[in-house]
Structure formats: structure tokens, C-alpha cells
Structure 1
Amino acid sequence: MEKLDWIILALTLGTIVAYGWWKTKSSRESVEDYVRGRKDTPWWAIGLSVMATQASAITFLSTPGQAYHDGWSSYNFISGYPWPWWSSVWYLFRFTTEKSVYGLRITRTTFDSKTRTLTAILFLIQRGMAAGITIFAPAIILSVVLGWSLTYLNIGIGTLVILYTVSGGTQAVSVTQKQQMFVIMVGMFFAFFYVLGALPEEITFGKALKIAGSSDKLNILDFSLDLNNRYTLLSGLTGGFFLALSYFGTDQSQVQRYLTGRSVAESQWGLIFNGLLKIPMQFFILLVGVMVFVFYQFNDSPLHFNPEAEETVQESHLSEQYKMLQENHRQLLNKKAHAHTEFAAALDFNDLTLLESSETKMKTLQAEELRNREAARTLIKEVDPQEETNDKDFVFIHFILNNLPSGLIGLLLAVILSAAMSSTSSELNALGTTTTVDLFLRHNKKELTQKQSVRYTQLFTLAWGVVAILIASIANLFENLIQLVNIIGSIFYGNVLGIFLIAFFIKFIRGNAVFLAAIGTQIIVLLIFFNTSISYLLLNFIGCALVIFIALLLESFERIQPKSNLEE
């Protein structure tokens, strides 16, 4: 990194933190303002804030790498997204006066205190873990690639977020996310147009798409019924639907963003605006990843994108074998570049015979490259079984640091850290609010002043910030970081969504049955996850259906028994 990169990075992050602290000084006087803002956020800002909460650093690190390896197949995941947005807009009417989503409709049913508390605790567990991952994701990548201390990065990112989130609460999150989204989108557009400009002169955007398509990177919809396949239309329309409905309708980190709206209509339009932008944005990020794949068909790429893993094997007794794989990889790169140039020329002349032969050659070379990369992963694992061999999360950061010009590198790093800050601030804000409103204030018998309530919310937000940093410090890379966050959500979200659906639509089921059903469901979902290979997206549907089914059985059984005093 050059001096210019450091200046851009420091100015961007410093300005966002300072602006968030300065802009929200008045929100520290009232707990209403602290947890819900001033209720003056326009619809477009709500939409951006909701999007910024979703778009963590994991999105901008992992998604391009995922597209590099798997193409557009993960787009199946969001095929079920549009309907939850409309559903959330519809029942948004029902809780715009609440501070916390877990105190909304549930408080007006026969649900008892322990059921409401359990629902809040399930959220706190999964979102607390996710907050740690959103800090860890950029920290681990930057520490490996730049050689920075992982511990200091975790503490640094977490501290920056804690500073303005604890200081200004919900309003601080909302006002800073507009700037963060601006930085994020500007940076990604620069990266996209730069990678297009860096392709060989004869490779136009249309030809780049043809090359990607011939490499099976543009296959979007998978109609297979394989339950073990993560990214199919079936898993998207079922698991993706329930994951999104849970996220937008029951996750305090999301709901708290649109509870700041000037009116119900503003909040609804904000959610619709986010829905209209989310799918194109996800598509665009995947497209950036696909273009990076095309770029590396004509330019040098490492045998393994994780430099730490490469260093491990290069310093071991298997270094000579790894060097042979690297040499083979370099030869394959030259052959691939020639085959792709030949393919592009065949497109110009519309030569079907040459087109078919060059496409066959391309696929053969890519298959050989995949075998070569797999052999490299095997050697790395042989040297150190604990070393992470998945390198999807390192693809985009490698491209940034090794191919972008000075200044743009600093901007893209600011994108990654801004995304980490925006999503983490929303999570800490939601965790602090939920802990205060749904646990502390509900069970605290003493009357507190406004300032005392704000103080407790700040303390709980700070505590969750420390917890997130600790989780980040002990975390480790999973198969793919963006998948890890969705897996954590899928394990808990379905259960929470089922509780909400019971509260809204099956009102004769009482709290005791729901409480027992929720505990049983969570145990079953965990057993399914750890003991089967079923797609994690389907856990959302399974959890939701299970808690409703078990609660119905328990309520039916309880009603035919003599009345007890179990209900509070």
C-alpha cells in the first residue's frame, strides 16, 4: 500500500466515525431517541440503512470469491427474497410504536414472560455470534494479506464501531450508514470498470460474458431437487424465503432500522426501496466476481489465493512437490490465455468449428487447473491439518492489492472496513436495545429515569461490543464466511419466525406450549445440522414448521388435561 492509500483509508473511516459522534449528541438524553432515533428518517435513508445492515464486509469479500469459483449459482439463494419484503411491509403496520421487535405483537397475546424472554435470548445468541464474525471477516483477510496483526485488527475495527454506536445509538447507526453505502457503491463501481479496462483490448464486455458462460459461471437457476445441494431454486424459494422473512421481520438489527421512519408509510417505502435495490446489488457483486474470473484467465494468479497457506507448505518438507504444482499452474495459465484468445477470435469470425474446438480446449484446461488446485490443497492439509485450504474469501482482496492502482486500493479497503462497521454497528445497537428493553427493563422492578435507561443501554451495547471482539478473536475461517453467517442465522431464525407466526395467526396457542416447543425445536435443528448434510437454507423452513407443529400438539394435549397453573 502506498501513502495515498493510507490517506484515503484514514480520511474515509475517520470522517464517518467523527460525523456519527457529532451528529447524534442529542440522542443521549432520551431512551426513546436512543433506541429509535428521532423518528425523522426519510424512506430513501431507511432503504439505504437496511441495505447497509445487510451488506457486511463479508458480502464484499466473500461474494466475488464465491462467484469466481461457483459463478452465479448462489443467486438461487435470493430467489425467495421478494416475497418476504412485501410480507414485512404488510405487518409493519402492527409494531411501529414498539422499541423492540420482541415486545411487539407477542406482548398482546397470551404469551407469558418466559416465552418472550426465550425469543429475545435466541436472537441475542445468533446475532451476538454473527457480530463477532462481521468483525472477524475483514480482520482475518487483511491480516493474512497485509501482514497486520489479527488481534489488533479485531480490536481496532470493534473499537471504531463501539465509539459512535455507544455514543449515539440508533441515530448514529442510521446517519453513518448513508455515508458508508456511498463509499461502498463508489468503490465497487470503480473496481468493476477497472477490471473491464484491464482485460485484453480485444476482449469486450460481451466477449467476457461469453467466456464466463462457456466456463459455466453464468448458470443462475438450478431446478434440481437435491436436498444436499445448497444453491437450487427449491432451496432459494423455501429456505431463502424463510431466512429472508425471519431476517426482515424478526431480527431487531433490521427492524430497528425502519422503526426510525417519520411514519408508517415512510418505513414501508424504505423497505420496498431496499427490496428493489437488494437483488440488483447482489447481482452486481456477483458480476464483479465473474469479471475477476475472466481477468485471471488472461493474467497470472496464484496456485492458492491464501498467502499464509502457501507460505506454510513452501517452508515444509513438501515444498518441492508444491513448486512442481506451481510450475504446472504457470504453464496452464499460458495455455488458458491462448485458448481464450482463440475463443474470442472465433466469436469475431463466427467460426462455429473453431468456436467449438476452442471451448472444448478451455474446459479441458480449466478442469486440469481445478485438479492442480485440489492437489495443492491436499499438500497444504498434509503439512498442517488445521490450516484452512478454502481460499474463496481471498480472491477479491488478492485482485485488489495486486492489480488496482494506488488510491483505488485505499478506497476498496475503505469499502471493506466501512461495510464491516455499518453491519456491526447495527448488530451492536440491536443487541444493546434487546438486552435493555426485553431483559433488563422487563425484569427490573425499579423505576429508572430516561438518562439511567440510556446509560444502561449504552453499557449493554458496550458489553456486546466487547463480546463481539472476543468472538472475533477466537473465530476461524469456515468454508465461506458469507455462508457461515447465513448458517448461524438459519440455525436460529426458523424457530424465532415460527414463534412470531404463532403470535400473529394462531392465537389460541398459549405461552407454555410455545416455550417448550421452541426449546425442543432448537435442539432438533442443531441435531439435524450437525448430523446430516441437508442444505442449511432448508433449516429455516424446518425450524419454522417444527415449532408450530410441536406447539400445536402440546397445546392440544394441554387442553384435554385438567387445568394447571403453569401459565404466568
Structure 2
Amino acid sequence: MHTLDLIVLGIYLAGVVGVGWWCSRRQHDLRDYFLGGRQVPWWALLASIVATETSTVTFISVPAFAFAANARGEGGNFSFLSLVLGSLVGRLLVVVLLLPSYFRGELFTVYELLDRRFSRGVRQTASAVFLVTRSLADGVRLMATALVLVALVAWSDPTAIVVLGVVTMVYTWLGGMRAVIWADVLQLGVYLAGAGAAAVLLWQSIPGGWETVVTTGHQHGKFQILDFTLDPGRSYTFWAGLIGGAFLTTATHGTDQLMVQRYLCARNARQAALALLGSGAMVLLQFTLFLGIGLLLFVFYDRAGTLPAEVAARPDRVFPHYMATALPVGLKGLVVAAVFAAAMSTLSSSLNSLAAATMNDFYKAWRVGPADPHREVRVSQWLTLFWGGILMGVAWGAAHLTTRVVDTVLALASFTNGPVLGLFLLGVYTRRVDGTSALMGLVAGLVGLLLVWSTGKVSWQWYVVVGSLLTAGVGWGASMVRARHTHGPCRGGVPPDGQ
């Protein structure tokens, strides 16, 4: 990288650390550290939701989706947008079905709702599932960023992982959730600017401009969005995207601490709903931009014919290769900063939510003696560093993945989010399902998904549908059997909405 590129990158990194330092002056208790004092405006939450959904996986793997199909023939076009359509439906379902329950009393983690409805054991089980899944998925995201830095800066994989991880840990450790959100606002602007600049340069580099892009795209079927195939083993079909995507988003945005923690920072449920629904429109535009970059990359290299075979064999490396070889001085620094921003927005959110779940769902439950707000903040900061180390370890282990990164990350999320969504549906919309029956449903959902996965005949996009319905069905059925066996109603308590 040129000196000017390093200066641009250095300004960005200093900016996010500065945000963390500025926010660190207002950390008095866990309400400040994990909820931002519940005074964050809706538009900042909107930007934070979008930035958190967008990691380096989006930045490099969504263009790769449009660039080329995988070994199963999935992708190579705009069919990824079918998943986004399902995401819009899922956001609406979260607002209608789940969001009101999160503003009855003050929650620090979404899993406290399960404690109120069932038991501490159910709460901690769901929280543990979140901790494992989130650390694995975001470790893979961290690895994806290392791929870009290796291509652009010629660092080794471990060096790239450590640099990115340490900087993210510093500002998250300093400023807590308030720093995460306001850094997300900055990072959203940076990575959209970087992606937009790269798209414009690509377009200008193609002889014939937009006419060539449209003609080549039509010749290779790049503009296909809807695939009405009924095969459950095929991903990114209309049905898998709409139904599976709706269930996936309901789970990730309605029961995952990473997202729900943002709503809990809002002043009220109305502002949280406004941020969540508004983020859907923003995400649709954003994914269209990144798929468009993939199309432009395909046309550019189809005309230039200069893509090395080892890069073409792994589409996730195509955009990083373009950035390393074609971007001019200055712009390369901006795009590298954009890659950092896309990764750090998700990683910082992950670190804070992992620390929040560990502190509130486990540490406080096992604590002996009276609460000390300042000590709790210090412990939360150490937990942030601990989870940062875990994510870097997972990233090192994932460095040799050969599958498309976006598929790996989404499959990891889908596998456990379905059963957890089933737990929340039982908790909010049933009266007599007790904690033991709910846990039986959770185990059945996880085992059932293992069996479905082992067949290799069902797309990951159906995992949340299968897992949530199986968990809810078995949990409800088990409660009916237990009620008959004991000749009385199950003692599960009353759900928070009084139903």
C-alpha cells in the first residue's frame, strides 16, 4: 500500500478508537455499558442494525455470489435478493409478534424473557446456544476480513486477524454499547463510500460502459432474481428465500442478543420498530449494490481475461484481487478502510453482546454478595477482551475453509436460531408449557436438525423453519402429555403478555 493509503486507513482507525474513548467517559453502570443509557435515537439504531448485518462477508462474498455459481449451481445471479425479500417479512413479524414483549420492564438480554416465563435453566441454555453460535459465525467473519487484508497489504493470516481484532476490542472495551452504535454510524458511511467508489471505478473500466454490462449480464443470466424451483435442497429459490428468509430474520432479529440489544437501547418500542423496519429498506438497497459489484467484476474480467486461475477458483477472493491490483492510490486506502469498517461493525457488536449475555445470564446468577456497579462494568470489559480472544482463535481455525463464506456463516446461524425461536414462541404464545417441556422441545429441534443436515438433501435456508416448528411442536406436545400424566396443569407460569 502507498503512504497515502496508509494515512487514509490510519485516520479511520484513529476515528473509531476516538469514538470509544469519547463514549468511555459515560460508563457508570451496566445500563450505560450495555444499553447506552436507553437514550439512543432511532436513526442511529437504524444505521447500527444495517452496519451490524453487513460484515466483510457481505463485502466480499455477496459480490462473489453474483460473480459465479457454486458447485451446486446456486448463485451466479441476483437470486440472493429472494432472501432479502424474506428478511423484510421477518422484520415485520418481529415488530408485531415479539418486540412489544421486550419493553415490558427493563431487560439487559433477550434471554431474561425466558427466565420470567420458564426458568433460569431455560434462559441459560438459550444464552449458551447464542454464545457458541455467535462466536463461531463471527470468527468466520473475522477470517473473511483477513483474506482481504492478505491480498491488499501482504500480511499473513494471523497478523491480519490480530490487527483487526485488537483495534475492535480496544474501542468496544472502552465505550461499551454506546461506542459500538456510534462507531457503526461512522462505519456505515465509510464502507458504503468505499463500495460505491469501487463500483464506479469498475463501471468506468469496462469498454462500452453500462450497455456492455447489460448485454453481458443478459447473455449469462446474471439478472435472474426469482427461481420458483420446489427442490428443498436448493438454496436461494423464491420459496426458500421468502419463507426460510422470513423465519431466519424473525429468529436473528427477534431472538438473537446481537440484534435485540439494539432495540433495548431505544427510548421506547415505537422508536425500536421504526429503526428495525427502516433498516429493511436500507439492506435491500445495500445488497443490490454488492450484487451489482459482483456483476461488474464478472463483466470486467470476462472482457480483460486477466484473472488468475487460483483466484477464479475461489470467488470470495475475486473482489480482494481487484482491489489489490486495480485500485488507484488513495482510493485503495478508502476501500481497505471500508473493509475494516464492514468487519468491525459486526465484530464490535458481537463482542458487546457476548459480554452482555455472559455477564447478565451467568455471572450475575452465580455472583455472591451485593452488586457493585463499577465492578460489574470492569468485569464486563474483561469479558469483552475474553470473547475477542475466542473470535480470533476461531478465525485462525477457519482460515482453510473452501466453501463460499456467506453460505457457511448463514448456515451456522440458521442451525441454532430455529430452535431458539421455537422457545420464544412457546414462551410468548402459550400458557401451560413448562420449562422442562420447553427444554425437551429445544433438544428435539437440535437433534432433528442434525438428522436433516446429515441427509444433505435440505438447504440451510429451511433449517430455521424446521428447527422452530419442531421445537415448538414437541414442547407443546410434551406439556400436554405431562399434564395428563400428573392430572393437573403444568406449572410453567404466565407469559409476560398475560395470555
Whether these two folds match at TM > 0.5 is yes
C-alpha displacement at 1:117, in angstroms? 1.1
Paired residues of 2:38 and 2:265 also in contact (CA < 8 A):
yes
Structure 2: which amino acid aligns with 1:304? A
C-alpha displacement at 1:563, in angstroms? 6.5
Distance 1:561 1:544, change over 3 A: same
Structure 2: which amino acid aligns with 1:60? F
Distance 1:4 1:116, change over 3 A: same
C-alpha displacement at 1:8, in angstroms? 1.0
- Equivalent residue number for residue 72 of structure 2: none
- In 1, the alpha carbon distance for the partners of 2:6 and 2:293 equals 24
- Equivalent residue number for residue 218 of structure 1: 223
- Equivalent residue number for residue 330 of structure 1: none
- DSSP 3-state at the match of 1:71: coil
C-alpha displacement at 1:510, in angstroms? 0.8
- DSSP 3-state at the match of 1:138: helix
Over 4 Å off, 4+ runs: 563-568
Is 1:514 aligned to 2:432, yes or no?
no
C-alpha displacement at 1:400, in angstroms? 1.3
Distance 1:301 1:112, change over 3 A: same
Unaligned runs of 5+ in 1: 307-372, 374-389
Is 1:108 aligned to 2:113, yes or no?
no
Is 1:491 aligned to 2:499, yes or no?
no
C-alpha displacement at 1:208, in angstroms? 1.4
Paired residues of 2:482 and 2:490 also in contact (CA < 8 A):
no
Correspondence 1:407-418 to 2 at 5 A: 407-418=330-341
- In 2, the alpha carbon distance for the partners of 1:77 and 1:95 equals 26
Is 1:400 aligned to 2:399, yes or no?
no
Structure 1: which amino acid aligns with 2:470? L
C-alpha displacement at 1:144, in angstroms? 5.1
- Equivalent residue number for residue 447 of structure 1: 370
Q: Deviations over 1:270-294 (max 9, x none)?
A: 1121112111111111011111111
Is 1:470 aligned to 2:373, yes or no?
no
- In 1, the alpha carbon distance for the partners of 2:133 and 2:122 equals 17
- In 1, the alpha carbon distance for the partners of 2:327 and 2:370 equals 57
Is 1:304 aligned to 2:228, yes or no?
no
- Equivalent residue number for residue 173 of structure 1: 180
- In 2, the alpha carbon distance for the partners of 1:103 and 1:78 equals 29
- In 1, the alpha carbon distance for the partners of 2:489 and 2:227 equals 52
- In 2, the alpha carbon distance for the partners of 1:79 and 1:267 equals 21
C-alpha displacement at 1:305, in angstroms? 4.5
Q: Deviations over 1:449-496 (max 9, x none)?
A: 111211222222211111111111111324111111101001101001
Structure 2: which amino acid aligns with 1:252? Q
- Equivalent residue number for residue 367 of structure 1: none
Paired residues of 2:47 and 2:184 also in contact (CA < 8 A):
yes
Correspondence 1:10-89 to 2 at 5 A: 10-27=10-27, 29-69=28-68, 70-89=76-95
Structure label with greater radius of gyration: 1
- DSSP 3-state at the match of 2:19: helix
Paired residues of 1:102 and 1:119 also in contact (CA < 8 A):
yes
- In 2, the alpha carbon distance for the partners of 1:297 and 1:153 equals 31
Is 1:425 aligned to 2:348, yes or no?
yes
- Equivalent residue number for residue 557 of structure 1: 481
* 1:94 paired residue among 101, 105, 112: 101
- Equivalent residue number for residue 3 of structure 2: 3
Q: Deviations over 1:485-532 (max 9, x none)?
A: 101001101001010111111221111001122123212212322332
- Equivalent residue number for residue 138 of structure 1: 145
C-alpha displacement at 1:146, in angstroms? 4.2
C-alpha displacement at 1:564, in angstroms? 10
- In 2, the alpha carbon distance for the partners of 1:168 and 1:537 equals 36
Give the aligned CA root-mean-square deviation in angstroms: 1.9
Paired residues of 1:115 and 1:511 also in contact (CA < 8 A):
yes
* 2:264 paired residue among 252, 259, 263: 259
Paired residues of 1:239 and 1:540 also in contact (CA < 8 A):
yes
Paired residues of 1:305 and 1:394 also in contact (CA < 8 A):
no
Paired residues of 1:64 and 1:288 also in contact (CA < 8 A):
yes
- DSSP 3-state at the match of 2:203: helix
Unaligned runs of 5+ in 2: 69-75, 493-499
- In 2, the alpha carbon distance for the partners of 1:9 and 1:80 equals 36
- In 2, the alpha carbon distance for the partners of 1:196 and 1:415 equals 19
Paired residues of 2:483 and 2:490 also in contact (CA < 8 A):
no
C-alpha displacement at 1:213, in angstroms? 1.5
Work out the number of aligned pairs and report it.
481
Structure 2: which amino acid aligns with 1:187? G
- DSSP 3-state at the match of 2:38: coil
Paired residues of 1:123 and 1:251 also in contact (CA < 8 A):
yes
* 2:210 paired residue among 171, 185, 205: 205
- In 2, the alpha carbon distance for the partners of 1:518 and 1:418 equals 36
Structure 2: which amino acid aligns with 1:57? T
- Equivalent residue number for residue 73 of structure 2: none
Paired residues of 2:233 and 2:456 also in contact (CA < 8 A):
no
- DSSP 3-state at the match of 1:65: helix
Percent identity reads: 28
- In 1, the alpha carbon distance for the partners of 2:364 and 2:489 equals 25
Distance 1:478 1:539, change over 3 A: farther
* 2:461 paired residue among 532, 537, 540: 537
Paired residues of 2:251 and 2:420 also in contact (CA < 8 A):
yes
- Equivalent residue number for residue 354 of structure 1: none
* 2:283 paired residue among 269, 278, 284: 278
Paired residues of 1:50 and 1:258 also in contact (CA < 8 A):
no
Q: Deviations over 1:417-456 (max 9, x none)?
A: 1111110000111000011111111233432211121122
- Equivalent residue number for residue 426 of structure 2: 502
Structure 2: which amino acid aligns with 1:107? D
Paired residues of 1:478 and 1:484 also in contact (CA < 8 A):
no
Is 1:122 aligned to 2:121, yes or no?
no
- Equivalent residue number for residue 159 of structure 1: 166
- In 2, the alpha carbon distance for the partners of 1:94 and 1:463 equals 31
- DSSP 3-state at the match of 2:448: helix
Paired residues of 1:502 and 1:548 also in contact (CA < 8 A):
yes
Structure 2: which amino acid aligns with 1:455? R
- Equivalent residue number for residue 350 of structure 1: none
- In 1, the alpha carbon distance for the partners of 2:94 and 2:369 equals 35
Structure 2: which amino acid aligns with 1:81? S
Structure 2: which amino acid aligns with 1:89? V
Structure 1: which amino acid aligns with 2:93? S
- Equivalent residue number for residue 380 of structure 1: none
- DSSP 3-state at the match of 2:431: coil
Distance 1:128 1:270, change over 3 A: same
- DSSP 3-state at the match of 1:398: helix
C-alpha displacement at 1:562, in angstroms? 2.9
Structure 1: which amino acid aligns with 2:197? F
Paired residues of 1:61 and 1:394 also in contact (CA < 8 A):
yes
Paired residues of 1:239 and 1:541 also in contact (CA < 8 A):
yes
C-alpha displacement at 1:21, in angstroms? 2.1
